[in-house]
Chains A and B, each alone.
Chain A
């Protein structure tokens, strides 16, 4: 056998690459589901609250908390989708190289979890604050 003969493909290595690719696919799909939930819930909250305000006959405050919360959730959904797609493309590019090298990177989940935690704290604070104001008004 001459030294210039092409190296036969290692089928097990190629199959492992395929598995990594579809694992990346599944990760992206999980992110898509999360984004969809964020966008759907955000949009749903805003639409429902707007219609209920209409029913009561109140003037809709454009800077109401539910509206800001909805926009925050939808914004987070868009950010999550874009970042997950960028990460997926990076993984595909790494898999395309002859020698695969694992590169540690900042997990997107950490950012999203922290953002959700901040939103949860903000929501809880707003609800408690409103309750306190409502009690003070009714006491008067």
Chain B
């Protein structure tokens, strides 16, 4: 059948692209007639792969936002201070916040890329069982909430002190 040929070609290609690829289960009946791989499962795997790709792209967008906001906040405040003739304080709040954003974005991107690679290998398994695990996104959310709280307190206390 044409579908079977296509599926076989795709599986062969997968073995070359992903060395850990596990071939679809071929069930042997007592008559030793191999059962063809279930196309529905293979299509589900393909949907998972596409979903993983979209997730990685979402990570890229998030990390790009983190890094560009970090650099932006630091540079804009530094340029404004220089233009005003003020002495640029190397340990000002905007610099600490900016550097934290850049560091968070870089580390998150690394973690997401490693996780993506691992997940791609995982979904190739034919005995896949869903395992709940902590994602780097939860860590990023918590760190962002902490950084937001630092910014909030910094602005609030800065005003109170200057007042």
Decide if B55 touches A22 in the complex (CB within 8 Å).
yes
Q: Bound complex: CA of A71 vs CA of B151, how far in Å?
A: 9
**What 0/1 pattern do residues 131 to 150 of B give for CB contact below 8 A with A?**
01001011011101101110
Assess the B62–A46 pair: CB atoms within 8 A. no
User: Closest residue of chain B to A76, judged by CB?
Assistant: B148
Q: Which of B55, B119, B127, B138 lies in contact with A85, CB distance below 8 A?
A: B138
Assess the B148–A78 pair: CB atoms within 8 A. Answer: yes
Tell me if B86 is interfacial: C-beta within 8 Å of chain A: yes
| Cα-based distance from A75 to B156 in the complex (angstroms) | 11
User: For the complex, would chain A's binding face be called helix, strand, loop or mixed by DSSP majority?
Assistant: helix
- How many chain B residues touch A (CB < 8 A): the figure is 56
Give the CA-CA distance A12 to B126 in the complex, in Å: 10
Least CB separation from A97: chain B residue: B132
Q: Please give the distance in Å from B115's CB to the nearest CB on chain A.
A: 9
A54 and B148 in contact (CB under 8 A), knowing A11-B128, A43-B73? no
Partner of A36, one of B55, B69, B80: B69
Are A32 and B141 also in contact (CB < 8 A) when A40-B69, A62-B163, A71-B152 are? yes
- Which A residues are CB-close (under 8 A) to B147? 39
Known contacts A18-B48, A23-B51, A74-B151; A40 and B58 CB within 8 A of each other: no
Establish whether residues A43 and B141, one from each chain, have CB atoms under 8 Å apart when the complex forms: no
Tell whether A89 is near chain B: CB-to-CB under 8 Å. Answer: yes
User: Is there a chain A Cβ closer than 8 Å to B31's Cβ?
Assistant: no
A75 contacts B123, C-beta separation under 8 Å: no
Residues of B within 8 A of A (CB): 40-41, 44-45, 47-48, 51-52, 54-55, 58-59, 61-62, 65-66, 69, 72-73, 76-77, 80-81, 83-84, 86, 94, 97, 101, 119, 123, 126-130, 132, 135, 137-138, 140-142, 144-145, 147-149, 151-152, 155-156, 159-160, 162-163
New contact pairs (14) apart from A12-B44, A33-B61, CB-CB < 8 Å: A9-B127, A15-B123, A17-B130, A22-B52, A25-B58, A28-B141, A33-B62, A33-B65, A36-B144, A43-B97, A67-B155, A74-B151, A78-B148, A78-B152
